Amino acid sequence: MNSNSTGAVPQGAQDVLTRYWDTLCTWRDDVWLGWHEGLDRYVASLEAFVGAPPGSIVTDANLSTLLTRIASCFDYRAPRNRVLTTHLEFPTVPFIWNAFRRYGAVVDVVGSGGPRFDEDALADRIDERTLLVCVPHASFSSGATLDLPRLVARAHEAGALVVVDAYQSIGVVPFDVTALGVDFVLGGAHKWLCGIGTAFLYARPDLLPDLEPAATGWQAGDRALSFQPSTGWADGAQRFAGGTPFPLTALVSQVGLDLLAGIGIDTIRAHSLACTDRILARADAAGIRVVSQVEPDRRGGVVGLDVPDGEAVKRRLAARNLICSWRGYLRIGPHVYNTLDEIDEFMDALEEELQENRR
C-alpha cells in the first residue's frame, strides 16, 4: 500500500537490466543511438499518457533538477517577482524557492499548517505581483488534493504561470496537461508510474520559445549530437535538458508505463476509487480520522489517516509485511496491483495495532 512512496516495478524490468548489462559487455560507440531511441520512446509514451503534444516533455534524474531549470528561466524583477506556494509541498520545493530569493524571488507560503490546502487563501493571494504559482496536485504528506482548474483560471486571469508538482497523482489519477491548460507539470517514475530513478517536465508549447533556462547543459543546445558548441536552443522541451542522460532508468521505467497505459487510466482510477472507498469505509467504522478528501472527484490515490503514534504503527505493520508510510500522517496508497482483500487484511492489522496502542 506504498505506491505513494515507491511503486512496484514489473518483472519485465529484469529483461531490460539483462539487456543493459549485455550492452555494456559488448560496448560500441553507436550504442548511444539505441539508448537515445529508448529515451525518446519513453518521452513519447509519457506525452501520450498525460495528453501532452509531441516535444513538450523532457526527462532528467529527478524533479528537483527540473524545477531548478524552470526557476532559472525568470529574472524576478519587481513588481512581478512573487512565487506563491503552499505549506504542503514536498521539501525540495521550498528549498529551491528559498535559494532563488538571492535572485529576487519573493516567496509566499500560503497555508494553515493543517492537512488540507487553504484553497480560498491561495486564490485570494494571487495578484499582479505573482509570477509563478508552484503547487502540488496532491500533498505528499496528507494525500489532500488541490482544485487545479480553479487555480489555473485564477492564476492566468492575473497573468501568473502555474507549476504543478504532480508526482503524487500522475499514474493513478487522470491528468491531462492540455485540458488543464497548466503551464508546467513535474512528475516522476518511481511511485505511481512503477518505474525507477527518472523524472519529467512538461512545458506548455507556446511558452517554450521565450524560456531560456540558466541552469542548463549541452543536451539543451541545437547542435548537441553533432558535438559542436550550440548557438541556439534545441527544439521543444529538450531546451530544458542538462548533461549526458542516464538511459537505464528510462528503459526500465518504460516497462511500468507500458503496463499502466495498456490497462488505461480510467480503469486504474476506477480500481483506485474502489480501494480507497474500502479504506474510507473501514476507517469510518473504526473511528479513525481521515485527513485527505473523501469526495470521489477530489480524492487522490492516497488516503491520509491521522493515527496516534503513527510512525511506530507503520513500523509494526511493516514487521507484518504490510507496507505503508508515515509523513506526519499514515499514508495508504494502493495501486492497480492491490486487491480489496489485501485492503481488508491491511485494515484488520491496522485496527489491531491501534488497539495495541491503547493498551
Q: Output 5 or 23, the one with its CB closest to ligand PLP.
A: 5
What's phi and psi for 296, nearest 5 deg? -55, -35
Q: Output 105 or 302, the one with its CB closest to ligand PLP.
A: 302
- CB 168 → ligand PLP: shortest distance, Å? 5
Contact indicator for 215, 68 with CB cutoff of 8 Å: yes
- Residue 307, amino acid: V
For residue 227, with 0-12 CB atoms within 10 Å meaning exposed, 13-18 middle and 19 or more buried, which class applies?
Answer: exposed
Among 45, 168, 219, 276, binds ligand PLP (CB under 6 A): 168
- CB 63 → ligand PLP: shortest distance, Å? 4
Q: Output 63 or 255, the one with its CB closest to ligand PLP.
A: 63
- Rounded to whole angstroms, the Cα distance separating 235 from 220 reads 9
256 in contact with ligand PLP (CB under 6 A): no
Among 72, 92, 178, 230, binds ligand PLP (CB under 6 A): 92
- Residue 167, amino acid: Y
Show the site string, 173-202: x = touches ligand PLP by CB under 6 A, - = not: ---------------x----------x---
- CB 165 → ligand PLP: shortest distance, Å? 5
- 8-state DSSP, 10: P
96 in contact with ligand PLP (CB under 6 A): no
- CB 141 → ligand PLP: shortest distance, Å? 9
- Residue 19, amino acid: R
User: 269: which residues sit within 8 A by CB, 6+ positions away?
Assistant: 172, 173, 174
- CB 285 → ligand PLP: shortest distance, Å? 29
Among 23, 64, 72, 178, binds ligand PLP (CB under 6 A): 64
Among 47, 60, 119, 165, binds ligand PLP (CB under 6 A): 165
- Rounded to whole angstroms, the Cα distance separating 310 from 234 reads 48
302 in contact with ligand PLP (CB under 6 A): no
Which range in 60-68, 255-263, 298-306, 345-353 contacts ligand PLP by CB under 6 A? Answer: 60-68
262-283 burial: b if 16+ Cβ within 10 Å, else e:
eeebeebbebbbebbbbbbebb
CA dihedral sign, ordered 240, 245, 247, 249: negative
- The upper half-sphere exposure of residue 60, i.e. CA atoms within 13 Å in the direction of its Cβ, equals 26
* 108 three-class SS: strand
6 in contact with ligand PLP (CB under 6 A): no
Contact indicator for 123, 147 with CB cutoff of 8 Å: no
Find the helix or strand (DSSP H, E) in which 289 lies: strand 289-290
- Residue 356, amino acid: E
90 in contact with ligand PLP (CB under 6 A): yes
What the block records as the C-alpha cell of 233 is: 536552443
- CB 199 → ligand PLP: shortest distance, Å? 5
- Rounded to whole angstroms, the Cα distance separating 141 from 283 reads 18
**Helix-strand-coil split of the chain, %, nearest 5:** 45, 15, 40
Which range in 61-69, 110-118, 154-162, 350-358 contacts ligand PLP by CB under 6 A? Answer: 61-69
Q: Output 23 or 92, the one with its CB closest to ligand PLP.
A: 92
117 in contact with ligand PLP (CB under 6 A): no
Q: Output 163 or 251, the one with its CB closest to ligand PLP.
A: 163
- Rounded to whole angstroms, the Cα distance separating 292 from 203 reads 29
Which range in 104-112, 165-173, 255-263, 312-320 contacts ligand PLP by CB under 6 A? Answer: 165-173
Among 167, 233, 240, 329, binds ligand PLP (CB under 6 A): 167
Q: Where does this chain bind ligand PLP (CB under 6 A)?
A: 62-64, 90, 92, 136, 140, 165, 167-168, 188, 199
